[in-house]
Amino acid sequence: MTAPRQRSIEARVPASTANLGAGFDCLGLALEMYLTARATVQIRPGSRTLARTRGVGSASLPKLPEENLIFRAMRYAAEKEGFQLPAVRLAVKNEIPMAGGLGSSAAAAIAGIALAYATAGRPLSQENALRYASEIEGHADNAGAALHGGLVVTYAQPDGGGGALRLAWPKMIRVIAVTPAMELPTKKSRAVLPAQVPREDAVRNLQRSALFIAAIETRRYDLIWDAMQDRLHQSYRQKLVPGLAEVLAMRQIPGLLGLALSGAGPSVVALATAGFDEIGKAIAARFEHAGVASTIRFLEVAQDGVSILENRPRGK
């Protein structure tokens, strides 16, 4: 007699960069660097949930599945939706640097939520997925990009939930991500931000975040440099990352459209149409001058968000 096959579901989620300069907590951009998580439903009575991770940062991840963010997100979504999670075996492959400002935790949260829906045999609710990921993360920009792909504008709703609007991204603009060899937890990076900011700074950021969207939509890429200038968060976070002030003070060079701290950092992202090697090396050199090694990544924008692939046992 043939043993029954186990059902497995795989979620593939892109990395992301948030803020893009002035769009603090509202702009997110998905990147072609992925976290892939496969959940195999355990069919033997008394089976326990297990987790195995390989790839970037796997050595520093918690060993117990209950402490794994993907599993915690699965459990959170199940509790919110009122269904019981089966025991699963999680196998995770991660390409996204941990605590690097490139959306690793948002990708894990979206992966877990998507797997929870799939193991329960339910279609993914994008509205609820964004809400739950935002509640786990504390903000929606990275989660929105991970969920939808492309350029995403996120916003808070009156009931406490969040919304996201996806915009097309021009393929000619690529992303150079330079990650210093250090971790910067979001909690620490947010702790340095002031509780209040001058109205002039707030208005300036509103203007520039709107300008960024307009520049992308109208293909006025010459305006992106000014549109990515920020007054709400980057100047306060500079002291946390050696060399960051020098990077953000760089002058524009051929092919470089704009520069920004990626999310809470410490990665920096550059938007460019040419001169990719030169731009990446110029950014890395400023970190190196401050005594910090870095990794340069050349990335395309991920046009699609989370994808789900399910392998079901064939019927008799």
Q: What is the DSSP string of 28-62?
A: EEEEEEEEEEEEEEP-STT---EEEEEETTGGGS-
How many residues are recorded in the chain?
Answer: 316
Q: Which residues contact 316 (CB under 8 A, 6 or more apart)?
A: none
pLDDT at 95: 94
In a domain, 312, yes or no: no
- Check which CATH number belongs to the domain holding 258 and give it: 3.30.70.890
Q: Which of 168, 185, 205 is the last residue of a domain?
A: 168
- Check which CATH number belongs to the domain holding 128 and give it: 3.30.230.10
Residue with tokens 């492309």: 150
Return the minimum-mean-pLDDT range out of 41-50, 89-98, 182-191, 216-225: 41-50
pLDDT at 316: 39
68-84 pLDDT per residue, tens: 899 999 999 999 999 88
Q: Based on the fold, state whether residues 160 and 214 are members of the same structural domain.
A: no
Domain region containing 36: 8-168
pLDDT at 73: 95
Q: Based on the fold, state whether residues 74 and 37 are members of the same structural domain.
A: yes
pLDDT at 159: 78
Q: Is the pLDDT of residue 67 over 80?
A: no
In a domain, 3, yes or no: no
Q: Based on the fold, state whether residues 185 and 274 are members of the same structural domain.
A: yes
Which of 272, 207, 199, 197 has the alpha carbon at shortest distance from 235?
197
Residue 237 Cα distances to 15, 65, 96, 203, 288, angstroms: 22, 33, 22, 20, 18
Position 178 confidence tier, pLDDT thresholds 50, 70, 90: very high
Q: Based on the fold, state whether residues 151 and 291 are members of the same structural domain.
A: no
Which of 294, 264, 279, 285 has the alpha carbon at shortest distance from 100?
264
Looking at the structure of the chain, the number of domains it has is 2
pLDDT at 48: 63
Q: Is the pTM of this model over 0.85?
A: yes
Q: Is the pLDDT of residue 131 over 50?
A: yes
pLDDT at 160: 72
Residues paired with 166 in a beta bridge: 152
Q: Based on the fold, state whether residues 231 and 262 are members of the same structural domain.
A: yes
